[in-house]
Amino acid sequence: MQRSLEAFTQGRLTGLILRKSAMNVTVQIPDDLARQLAAAGGDLSRRALEALAAEEYKHGRLTKPQLQRLLGIEASFQLDDFLKAHDVWIEYTREDAERERKSFEHLGM
């Protein structure tokens, strides 16, 4: 692998895909409850991943870039939409409001 990596970094090897490992997590749900949850629509696995990701972000165990990576979200506005949909609100302090007020004042607004 070391030779392949050196050749890849020097542009002599094409088609080599370097993948980071990922952990699979299995959740046991009784069949009747799984059917009930699945009836709500959408991919149940994706919904479980999103719920876990939102909770971990709320508790400060994931950063925004990590959350984007975990969920495969490319644009920051999509991440904002995700957070809003999961009732995760961005902390907005008085200092933030004052900074914005000064910015608007500077722009003549």
Q: Is residue 97 part of a domain?
A: yes
Q: Is residue 17 part of a domain?
A: no
Q: Is residue 18 part of a domain?
A: no
Mean pLDDT of 24-46: 92
Give the domain range for residue 106: 43-109
Q: What is the pTM of this model?
A: 0.64
73/19 Cα distance (integer angstroms): 18
Q: What is the per-residue pLDDT across 44-68, written as a single tens digit (0 to 9) for each? A: 999 999 999 999 999 999 999 999 9
Number of domains in the chain: 1
